[in-house]
Amino acid sequence: MSKPAPLIGITCEVLRNRQDPSGYNLLCDHRYAAVVRRAGAHPVLLPFSLSPPILRRYLEGIDGLVIIGGDDVDPKLYGEAPRRRTRVIFAKRAAFETWLYREGRKRALPIFGICYGMQLINVLEGGTLHQHLYPRKKNRKVNHRGGGRNFHRVRLVEGTRLRRLLTVARASVAAEHHQAVKRLGRGFIAAARAEDGTIEAIEHPEIPELLAVQWHPERRPASFPTRRLFRRFVLTCARYRDR
């Protein structure tokens, strides 16, 4: 009998409910679940909770964690005040993902941070962020903010795990962000950069179960980088399940 597919938890965006000011909506782009399923795992959405029993149950039940995109990491976490263009993410979502990340790291749980997810990981590991990148008219090499179909090229850094995984020197990726890594977290290195030098992926030499990219691989599900990234992540989750 074959083993069951790994179960991968995916966090959700949290938005205020305009009809009910005391409530909120949980949202998740269906493409996150689709690429996880396509890579051979079962996706499960994780509604935020700050209840210790529920949090522990989440970690006991999943074999991997995807922290999706969203608004901006609170600059207070890296010693800065929010600037005019900074849109601080829903605080309870940030607290939820912070707990999952820190406790998951203690368990060596495979974790994949995407866009805001990568930025949160970098900040939790002692790094900082550029709160706002220059608009395109001042930086014509790369349009980071773009939109749903904005693509640009990244250079995979020689000698990194990411470069070995993707087997290419450059790749075209889908991106939409106005912040980026400024100072790397402790022990982390840049694994990919845009043509203007912006860090587009990070990794830690001693944490092989961690993936973190600034771009949105789920928006190009059939692309070679997306297929390689998620297949490797699912295989890592399967090994975690079988420990």
Q: What is the tens place of the pLDDT at every residue in 39-64?
A: 999 999 999 999 999 999 999 999 99
pLDDT, average across residues 85-110: 96
151-157: long-range contacts, CB 8 A cutoff, minimum separation 24: 151/175, 151/220, 152/194, 152/195, 153/194, 153/195, 154/192, 154/193, 154/194, 154/200, 154/201, 154/215, 155/192, 155/193, 155/194, 155/195, 156/191, 156/192, 156/201, 157/189, 157/190, 157/191, 157/192, 157/193
Closest CA to 237 of 19, 39, 35, 88: 39
Looking at residue 87, what DSSP letter applies? -
pLDDT, average across residues 146-160: 83
What residues act catalytically?
A: 115, 216, 218
Q: Is the pLDDT of residue 3 over 90?
A: no
> Phi and psi for 109 in degrees, rounded to 5?
-70, 135
Tokens 């939820």 found at = 96
The predicted pLDDT at position 56 comes to 96
Instruction: Count Cβ atoms within 10 A of the Cβ of residue 11 and give its class: 0-12 exposed, 13-18 middle, 19 or more buried.
Output: buried
pLDDT, average across residues 206-214: 97
Question: What does the mean pLDDT of the chain come to?
Answer: 93
Specify the pTM.
0.94
Q: Taking the domains of the chain in order of start, what are their residue ranges?
A: 7-241
pLDDT, average across residues 123-140: 80
213 contacts 206 by C-beta, under 8 angstroms: no
CATH class of 7-241: alpha beta
Q: What is the tens place of the pLDDT at every residue in 155-192?
A: 999 999 999 999 999 999 998 899 999 999 999 999 99
% of the chain beyond a pLDDT of 70? 94
- The two tokens of residue 11 are 């966090």
Instruction: Give the three-state DSSP class for 155.
Output: strand
The predicted pLDDT at position 138 comes to 52
10 or 139: whose pLDDT is higher? 10
Q: What is the tens place of the pLDDT at every residue in 6-40?
A: 999 999 998 877 777 777 888 999 999 999 999 99
Q: Is the pLDDT of residue 109 over 60?
A: yes
